[in-house]
Structure 1
Amino acid sequence: MLARHRTALLSFLLALGAALPVAAGEIALPREAQLGPRPFYLVDKMKDGPLKQQLSQCTGPFHKTDFSIGHRGAALQFPEHSRESYLAAARMGAGVIECDVTFTRDRQLVCRHSQCDLHTTTNILTVPDLASKCTQPFSPADPAAGRKASAKCCTSDITLAEFKRLTAKMDGFNPDARTPEEYQNGTPRWRTDLYANSGTLMSHDESIALIKSLGAKFTPELKAPEVAMPFDGDYTQETYATQMLAAYKAAGIPPSDVFPQSFSLKDILYWVKTEPDFASQALYLEDRYEKAGLDPNRPETWKPSMQELKASGVAILGPPIFAMLALNDKGEIVPSAYARAAKAAGLDLIGWSLERDGPLNRGGAFYHKSVKAAIDRDGDTLTVLDVLARQVGVRAMFSDWPATTTFYANCMGMK
């Protein structure tokens, strides 16, 4: 009886602590990660087998993990790189949260996936005085001429103060639009606008303050400029790269909590030379499949080679999912030659991006293209993740819905 009363008292005190008011500026997060139904839905949709059986018995509690990286926050349902998206990622247990970094006309850093995506990720086209500043104003579709609707609006077209006037929306556009409003109403059907009415845009500094308050780590990506550099005559790529990391120093963030990223090897090597503490876990994002004909199964196309990347100072390689996976003679998903070679050279791997191909009942799209023949259901998300984690040996995974990666890591006893 006494033990029961002690248990009840402890539960009451914990509930009371959770209900205490939070100081101004602080974020109230639950003690445990809140995963919602999706990971369990994915388990239900898996093929029968030992992995499904193991995961179906995993009921929590669930906790934050560095294996789970919030890709642009929680972009499956929340406008990417918005405050709301970052909060959702943290609540789902993402131990690391991403801000893609680009710059405004007055050289202030902001969180956007691309320097020139404001026309698809914000409401800029319906804000007349800012729409007029776009690199390419809205042009309506003209079916008779075979012309699709178009626009191009860049962060470098406007100042930080003007950027902060915008509202984030789900990334998408309607190519058949006749009006700006129609153009911006193009969210893919497998996402949702339920949480997209008031997405709060973030400066880079604001993202640092928020992510720090959430107790998460940082993975800023230095986005490739879409304007000529030096910008405005004297803002060089090196200045830009230095400015991004300087923000973490100014905020008192230790380099061990930061995973800087870039698709440019030159940026990584610049940090190796000038910021070795940050460069020790910088992430070289793989895009040579697009620019240099890299084939994950043909080592002669990996230029530089894995050994050359390691010798140059690269510590972590960040490939898309398809580059790390292949099918064996039995049609089973296995590590690719690329993945095996990277690990053999001593490179850590962080993959991107889970939960970004939409429903997998038709084999997925870009991210699963190397294993498409083995994909036929949503539950294959967890099958793919298991191969990446236990056979490829990825250090972490970017995900558009971090609850999925948090669930898997907790169930498998990963940190």
Structure 2
Amino acid sequence: MKIARLFLILLLAMFSPNESWEANTAQAADAVSFGPRPLFLVDDMDQGELKDKLLQCRTQSARTTDFSIGHRGASLQFPEHTKESYLAAARMGAGILECDVTFTKDKALVCRHSQCDLHLTTDILSRPELAAKCSVPFSPASENGGKASVKCCASDLTLAEFKSLNGKMDGANKQAETIVDYLKGTPGWRTDLYASNGTLMTHQESITLIDGLGLKFTPELKSAEVSMPYNGSYSQQDYAKALIADYKAAGIDPKRVFPQSFNLDDVLYWIENEPDFGAQAVFLDGRYRGNALNPDNPDTFSPSMKELSEKNVRYIAPPTWMLLAVNDEGGIVPSAYAQEAKKAGLKIITWTLERSGSLTNGGGWYYQTVKEAIDSEGDVMTVLDVLAKEVGVVGVFSDWPATTTYYANCMGID
């Protein structure tokens, strides 16, 4: 085996530079490590059986687990949807990596959280020749009702132009008077320490990278922020079909792919027209918007969990707060929403761990239904434990996958 491995390395060394970076990073997932954060969180927990159990695992070897999903990679500290962010997530044991998929002016699929976030997540505003192509040019706070305004979309640029950009940490200073100050907007609980390199990725490049790491895929078809059909001919179904086509072209086993969308029609399209991939399609549940869904009242679930199951939806993915409630004793327990999803036989994935900043004051938006039970950073482990053991989630998106990996490894979750 050692001779065969050496022979393979020598062959890889003969590749061109564009091929070799893929080969040189292909072992990233083999070198999984936790880093200091998981035990920092465990140390901060209240005394109890869960803390004791997690401390007993402090000498465990880290291993990849599908329970740990890299949300845009490892976006707590690395520019999201970049090669560097994906590699960081893989090195923390994330078994599944996410590419949010949108499209450029020439309809190339690329990894971005939304079609129009380039002013927040790239250096486009530092590139005058490309910033001039933004849908809405920069306007300082003093000229725009107290908030700076700008809108730069992937669909404003060709693929070649998009690829010339560098990723940066998501954020902006909305009170800025200049572009320089506008770009100084990274939230204090994130960091620019690893933002010097941010290699943007096409959807196809993300497939090549993730496949080379031996991991699984969860691409999200983003809502278009341009009128569809785009340019009068590129329909929503064309868009949904193109996402799956990239995996087919790469020869990826459909069982390794979990396509996602907030648009139920996209999920149903995959189920009907791409059944091999649709079997693992994930309905991202955004029905909380506008208070259309109350997680404590099943009468507000429309369609109901049973109706979703009857439509052959197998995976549902709400934000974490929709799955949790606080009981009379002040403990965190599954919500009615979680109970109904389990009763209907739906597999549950949730988002997003470690995206709220400090948990010392209730944890923010992602913990809104259990904020009275949240008062320390270590409570993230308690939340994970309830999600895994009582709600029964099969995967957790995280901005720092090492935390979820540590918990899953300790509890024997593959």
Is the pair's TM-score, using the shorter chain for normalization, greater than 0.5? yes
Alpha-carbon distance between aligned partners in 2 of 1:245 and 1:335, rounded to the nearest angstrom: 34
Structure 1 residue aligned with 2:384: 385
Structure 1 runs not aligned, ≥5 long: 1-12
Give CA deviations for 1:286-321 in whole Å, capped at 9, x if unaligned: 100104610000111100000000001111000100
Following the alignment from structure 1 to structure 2, what is the Cα–Cα distance between the partners of residues 146 and 275?
A: 47
* 1:54-89 CA distance string (max 9 Å, x none): 000102111000000000000000000010000000
Residue 200 of structure 1 aligns to a residue in which SS? coil
- Secondary structure of 1:167's partner? coil
- The answer to whether the 8 Å contact 1:296/1:338 transfers is yes
Contact 1:32 1:64 in 2 (8 A): no
Verify: 1:39 aligned to 2:38, yes or no: yes
Please tell me whether residue 29 in structure 1 is matched to residue 22 in structure 2: no
2: distance between equivalents of 1:30 and 1:409? 16
1:349 pairs with 2:348? yes
* 8 Å CA contact 1:333, 1:374 repeated in 2: yes
Q: 1:185 to 1:140 in 2, by over 3 A?
A: same
The answer (yes or no) to whether the contact 1:69–1:97 under 8 Å persists in 2 is yes
How many angstroms apart in 2 are the aligned matches of 1:315 and 1:102? 24
Aligned to 2:16: none
Paired with 1:70 and 1:102, the residues of 2 have a C-alpha distance of: 18
Corresponding residue for residue 138 of structure 2: 138
1:329-350 Cα deviation digits (max 9, x unpaired): 1110000000000000010000
Give distance in 2, aligned partners of 1:362 and 1:277: 44
Partner residue of 1:175?
174
1: CA distance, partners of 2:174 / 2:409: 42
After TM superposition, list the pairs within 5 Å mapping 1:234-273 onto structure 2: 234-273=233-272
Q: Is the 8 A contact 2:29 2:213 kept in 1?
A: no
Contact 1:32–1:61 under 8 Å retained in 2: no
**What is the match of residue 104 of structure 2?**
104
Within 2, Cα distance between the matches of 1:367 and 1:297?
Answer: 16
Instruction: Measure how far apart 1:359 and its partner are.
Output: 1.2
Matches within 5 A, 1:184-263: 184-263=183-262
User: Is the partner of 2:208 in helix, strand or coil?
Assistant: helix
Instruction: Summarize the Cα distance change of 1:274–1:30 in structure 2 as closer, same or farther, 3 Å threshold.
Output: closer
Spell out the pairing of 1:114-153 with structure 2 (5 A cutoff): 114-142=114-142, 146-153=145-152
TM-score, normalising length from structure 1? 0.94
Task: Provide Cα deviations, 1:256-306, integer angstroms capped at 9, x if missing partner.
Answer: 000000000000111111001111111000100104610000111100000
- Displacement, 1:147? 2.4
Describe the SS at the equivalent of 1:156. Answer: helix
DSSP-derived class of the 1:137 partner: strand
Q: Distance in 1 between matches of 2:229 and 2:79?
A: 31
Percent identity reads 60
CA distance in 2, matches of 1:359, 1:181: 27
Residues 62 and 410 of structure 1 are in contact (CA less than 8 Å); yes or no, is this contact kept in structure 2?
A: yes
For residues 332 and 199 of structure 1, what CA distance do their matches in structure 2 show?
41
Amino acid at match of 1:121: T
The answer to whether the Cα contact below 8 Å between 2:30 and 2:91 also exists between their aligned partners in 1 is no
Structure 2: distance between partners of 1:109 and 1:195: 25
Cα deviation per residue 1:354-375 (whole Å; 9 max; x = unaligned)?
A: 1111110111111000000000
Q: Per the alignment, do residues 292 and 270 of structure 1 end up closer, same or farther by CA in structure 2, a change over 3 Å counting?
A: farther
2:315 aligns with 316
What amino acid does structure 1 have at the position aligned with 2:200?
Answer: L
In the aligned structure 1, how far is the partner of 2:136 from the partner of 2:50?
Answer: 50
Question: Is the alpha carbon distance of 1:292 and 1:238 closer, same or farther for their aligned partners in structure 2, counting shifts above 3 Å?
Answer: farther
Match of 1:383, as an amino acid? T
Query: 1:10 — aligned with what?
Result: none
Classify the secondary structure of the residue corresponding to 1:202. Answer: coil
- Please tell me whether the aligned partners of residues 64 and 94 of structure 2 are also in contact (alpha carbons under 8 angstroms): yes
Counterparts of 1:230 and 1:367 in 2: how far apart (Å)?
Answer: 34
- Residue 289 of structure 1 is matched in structure 2 by 288
* Greater than 3 Å deviation, 4+ residue runs: 20-23
Equivalent-residue separation in structure 1 for 2:30 and 2:254 (angstroms): 26
How many correspondences in the alignment? Answer: 399
RMSD: 1.5
Structure 1 letter corresponding to 2:83: R
Aligned-partner SS, 1:352: strand
Within 2, Cα distance between the matches of 1:292 and 1:229? 27
